[in-house]
């Protein structure tokens, strides 16, 4: 509609054209005007120049209005399609080992939805313009004709794909998720252009016959069916298991024999559901790893804020549909901002809602500086900072605090503390000191809580500077975080050494992989922890990774160390590979390896006989995660 109006505008302000069609009327002079579909021809047809400029402005505003209307309708249509194609169902799958698991899979096949509903939604404006023009011209091809749809398809296939390939950052790689489907759809795309040329220029020049239209319509479900067969590995595809990699020569793709994607034989639908389940499990693992990273970067944030940040990061990293990018582009074009950015801003506003009143001239917030504190058992005491922000700082404010047992208990791990903090006028920081009890008992790392409560404004006149009156009662409240968690690391044992995670997945292009080894249940003494890499499907010696073996030296009270492994990027398209990183029995720095093993055995016997008390001289030991799977 917008282009039709724009065409009318151009021809209404131009001269020299003598063309006439069935729905065009001859105007005075040499101007041929188009009878508009929405806006009629403005009478009189040959106005003075100032009035012509005014008419052009009116038509231009109508053009902009219609353009926004079409974009809004198309976006609502795409949003509806997105809701339809995102429907899911739960299925029960039996693994090859007999285990039954429940997974969530999409009802619509991704390939079918992209070729049908998504393609219809993304091309809805072009189809609408073509239908309006054909109906308005008595079913004769107009100046737009099939060029709108064919041009849009060619733009999607050539320009967009070329642009996506060219903008990949240096050193990073991307791969086609479904290579078989890509080959099928690319072949059909090239055939579609050839077929249109044949029916428009060879078989019946300038005329589309009935049999040509019906045959063209039949090609569409045939294309979708073949793409579905390729995607689900049906018919002959289930007997062919291929993989592709880049050849040594530039521009060459080599097809090699590969292993089946699933070790079991069975229904292809069940295999596809298993693959979907694996992807869902990998997504959960990735979200868990991301949550841990954000917790390390932002230790002061509450759990709810970390969950919001994790959701935002996952949303940014996950694969988007065509509907998302279409809707995103329209919002940016109309100045409404991106969908993800808008969602992130709203989340920030919600997370900061508790702190908005800090900037208010009538209210104050009292809260802990950090929500998590850590200390060793021999630290003596731990100090926590309480802050006061916002409001009228000339008033005096008090807040009560009290400790609460967690896995650490009053009297045996820390001393119970309860009291009141008083913020005098102008004061913004106070400290709470909790005494930690040191003993010679081996125990797990423990924690307890400290709560802030009953915050209030002290009576007028309290404090040295508080001498003026107040027209109204000032406001004060608890901010976030109002509860702090203190973790006590036991130092009576040399420590238990383990990996943070059982599986780590990285890209080949990472260069150097960092793996953390943590020390729990004690941090006394200097300990040596040997480690080594073990080949899996990934080969060492510089082929896939460089062999790494050595010793980590943990100093007294040190609770974490990192191992660095060099990864070789061979720039080949190949299946994921894996290797293993193993921790060997640790021993004290001043001990020999043999003495360390003997002492470890003695400590194990002591722990078995009396789990409550273990002498601090016990040697270090390994935890449960001593062999780490590294996936490339």
> pLDDT tens across 195-228, in order?
988 988 888 887 888 898 899 889 989 988 888 8
C-alpha angle 556-560-562 in degrees, rounded to nearest 5 = 125
Specify if 167 maps to a domain: no
- The strand pair at 496-499 and 242-246 is best described as unpaired
Handedness of CA 267, 272, 276, 279 (dihedral sign): positive
Last residue of a domain, one of 489, 516, 548: 489
- What pLDDT does 322 receive? 57
What would the pLDDT profile of 230-241 be if each residue is shown by its tens digit? 888 777 655 554
Q: Which two tokens stand for residue 139?
A: 């079913």
Specify if 23 maps to a domain: no
Q: Residue range 460-470: average pLDDT? A: 46
pTM passes above 0.85: no
Q: Tell me which residue range forms the domain holding 587.
A: 496-631
User: Do residue 454 and residue 485 come from a single domain?
Assistant: yes
Q: Residue range 370-374: average pLDDT? A: 82
Beta strands in 458-599 (DSSP E): 475-478, 483-489, 496-499, 503-505, 512-520, 527-535, 549-554, 560-566, 578-583, 587-588
pLDDT > 60? residue 602: no
What would the pLDDT profile of 551-597 be if each residue is shown by its tens digit? 888 887 788 888 888 888 766 656 677 888 888 888 777 544 444 55
More confident residue, 244 or 346: 346
Confidence of residue 400 (pLDDT cuts 50, 70, 90): very high
Length of the chain: 632
CB 508 within 8 A of CB 557: no
Confidence of residue 132 (pLDDT cuts 50, 70, 90): confident
Specify if 65 maps to a domain: no
* Residue 97 to residues 259, 263, 267, 629, Cα–Cα distance (Å): 19, 11, 16, 21
pLDDT > 70? residue 604: no
pLDDT > 80? residue 9: no
Last residue of a domain, one of 443, 467, 489: 489
Q: Would you call the peptide bond into 44 cis, given omega within 30 degrees of 0 as the criterion? A: yes
- What pLDDT does 298 receive? 67
- The secondary structure of residue 300, as a DSSP letter, is T
CA torsion, points 22, 27, 30, 34, in degrees to nearest 10? -50
Q: Residue range 149-160: average pLDDT? A: 77
Confidence of residue 491 (pLDDT cuts 50, 70, 90): low
More confident residue, 48 or 346: 48
Q: Which of 136-150, 192-206, 248-262, 483-497 is least confident?
A: 248-262
- What pLDDT does 326 receive? 60
User: Do residue 560 and residue 623 come from a single domain?
Assistant: yes
pLDDT > 50? residue 258: no
Q: Residue range 502-531: average pLDDT? A: 80
The rounded distance, in Å, linking the Cα atoms of 559 and 543 is 33
Specify if 184 maps to a domain: no
pLDDT > 60? residue 399: yes
Q: How many domains does the chain have?
A: 3
User: Do residue 552 and residue 603 come from a single domain?
Assistant: yes
Q: Would you call the peptide bond into 278 cis, given omega within 30 degrees of 0 as the criterion? A: no
Q: Residue range 333-349: average pLDDT? A: 52
Q: Residue range 304-333: average pLDDT? A: 62
Find the CATH number of the domain harbouring 627: 2.60.40.2030
- The secondary structure of residue 160, as a DSSP letter, is I
- What pLDDT does 293 receive? 72
User: Do residue 297 and residue 340 come from a single domain?
Assistant: yes
User: Do residue 346 and residue 372 come from a single domain?
Assistant: no
Q: What share of the chain is helix, strand, coil (3-state, %, to 5)?
A: 40, 25, 35
User: Do residue 349 and residue 361 come from a single domain?
Assistant: no
- What pLDDT does 455 receive? 87
User: Do residue 446 and residue 377 come from a single domain?
Assistant: yes
User: Do residue 384 and residue 466 come from a single domain?
Assistant: yes
User: Do residue 559 and residue 459 come from a single domain?
Assistant: no
Give the list of residues 6+ apart from residue 434 with CB closer than 8 angstroms, or none: 381, 382, 384, 403, 414, 415, 417, 450, 486
Q: Which of 156-160, 333-337, 494-498 is least confident?
A: 333-337
Specify if 283 maps to a domain: yes
The rounded distance, in Å, linking the Cα atoms of 429 and 387 is 5
Q: Which of 156-165, 270-279, 605-614 is least confident?
A: 605-614
Specify if 605 maps to a domain: yes
- What pLDDT does 16 receive? 38
Q: Residue range 140-168: average pLDDT? A: 77
Rounded to 10°, the helix 49-85/322-333 angle is 150
pLDDT > 70? residue 314: no
The fraction of the chain above a pLDDT of 90, given in percent, is 3
pLDDT > 60? residue 310: yes
Last residue of a domain, one of 294, 319, 353: 353
User: Do residue 617 and residue 541 come from a single domain?
Assistant: yes
Range with top average pLDDT, 41-45, 326-330, 577-581: 577-581
pLDDT > 60? residue 150: yes
Specify if 377 maps to a domain: yes
Specify if 530 maps to a domain: yes
pLDDT > 50? residue 96: yes
Mean pLDDT estimate for the chain: 71
What would the pLDDT profile of 101-116 be if each residue is shown by its tens digit? 676 777 888 778 777 8
pLDDT > 70? residue 129: yes
User: Do residue 530 and residue 589 come from a single domain?
Assistant: yes
User: Do residue 417 and residue 346 come from a single domain?
Assistant: no
Q: Residue range 415-441: average pLDDT? A: 86
CB 38 within 8 A of CB 1: yes
CB 323 within 8 A of CB 79: yes
DSSP string computed for 22-79: TTEEEPSTTPEEE--SSS-PPSSSS--HHHHHHHHHHHHHHHHHHHHHHHHHHHHHHH
pLDDT > 80? residue 514: yes
């Amino acid at each position: 509609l917008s282009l039709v109006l724009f065409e009318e505008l151009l021809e209404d302000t131009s001269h020299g054209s003598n063309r006439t069609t069935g729905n065009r009327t001859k105007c005075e002079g040499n101007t041929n005007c188009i009878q508009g579909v929405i806006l009629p021809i403005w009478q009189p047809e040959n106005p003075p120049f100032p009035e012509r400029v005014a008419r052009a402005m009116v038509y231009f505003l109508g053009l902009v209005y219609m353009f926004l209307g079409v974009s809004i309708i198309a976006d609502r249509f795409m949003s509806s399609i997105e809701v339809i194609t995102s429907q899911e169902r739960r299925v029960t799958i039996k693994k090859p080992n007999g285990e039954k698991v429940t997974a969530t899979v999409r009802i619509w096949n991704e390939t079918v939805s992209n070729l049908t509903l998504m393609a219809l939604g993304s091309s809805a404006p072009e189809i609408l313009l073509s239908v309006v023009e054909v109906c308005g011209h008595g079913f004769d091809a107009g100046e737009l004709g099939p060029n709108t749809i064919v041009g849009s398809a060619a733009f999607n296939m050539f320009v967009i794909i070329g642009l996506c390939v060219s903008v990949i950052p240096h050193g990073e790689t991307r791969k086609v998720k479904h290579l078989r489907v890509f080959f099928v759809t690319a072949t059909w795309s090239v055939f579609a252009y050839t077929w249109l040329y044949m029916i428009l220029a060879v078989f019946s020049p300038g005329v589309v016959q009935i049999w040509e239209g019906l045959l063209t319509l039949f090609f569409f479900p045939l294309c979708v069916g073949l793409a579905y067969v390729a995607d689900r590995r049906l018919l002959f595809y289930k007997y062919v298991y291929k993989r592709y990699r880049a050849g040594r020569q530039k521009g060459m793709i080599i097809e090699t024999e590969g292993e089946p994607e699933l070790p079991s034989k069975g229904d292809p639908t069940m295999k596809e559901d298993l693959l979907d389940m694996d992807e869902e499990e990998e997504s959960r693992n990735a979200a868990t790893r991301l949550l841990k990273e954000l917790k390390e970067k932002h230790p002061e944030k509450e759990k709810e804020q970390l969950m919001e940040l994790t959701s935002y990061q996952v949303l940014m990293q996950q694969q988007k549909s065509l509907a998302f990018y279409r809707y995103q582009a329209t919002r940016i074009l109309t100045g409404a901002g991106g969908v993800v950015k808008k969602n992130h801003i709203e989340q920030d506003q919600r997370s900061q809602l508790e702190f908005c009143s800090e900037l208010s001239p009538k209210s104050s917030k009292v809260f802990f500086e950090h929500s998590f504190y850590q200390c060793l058992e021999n630290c003596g005491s731990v100090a926590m900072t309480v802050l006061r922000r916002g409001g009228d700082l000339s008033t005096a404010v008090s807040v009560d605090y009290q400790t609460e047992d967690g896995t650490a208990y009053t009297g045996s791990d820390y001393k119970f503390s309860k009291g009141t903090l008083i913020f005098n006028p102008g004061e913004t920081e106070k400290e709470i000191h909790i005494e930690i009890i040191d003993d010679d008992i081996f125990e797990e790392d423990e924690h307890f809580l400290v709560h802030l409560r009953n915050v209030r404004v002290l009576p007028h006149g309290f404090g040295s500077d508080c001498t003026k009156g107040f027209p109204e009662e000032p406001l004060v409240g608890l901010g976030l975080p109002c509860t702090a968690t203190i973790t006590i690391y036991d130092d009576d044992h040399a420590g238990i050494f383990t990996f943070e995670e059982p599986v780590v997945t990285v890209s080949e292009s990472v260069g150097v992989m960092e793996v953390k080894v943590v020390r729990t249940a004690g941090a006394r003494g200097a300990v040596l922890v040997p480690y080594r890499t073990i080949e899996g499907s990934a080969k060492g010696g510089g082929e896939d990774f460089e062999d790494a073996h050595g010793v980590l030296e943990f100093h007294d009270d040190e609770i974490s160390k990192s191992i660095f492994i060099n990864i070789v990027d061979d720039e080949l398209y190949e299946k994921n590979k894996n290797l293993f990183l193993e921790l060997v029995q640790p021993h004290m720095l001043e001990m020999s390896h043999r003495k360390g093993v003997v002492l470890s055995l003695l400590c194990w016997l002591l722990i078995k006989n009396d789990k409550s008390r273990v002498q601090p001289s016990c040697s270090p030991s390994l935890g449960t995660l001593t062999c780490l799977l590294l996936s490339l």
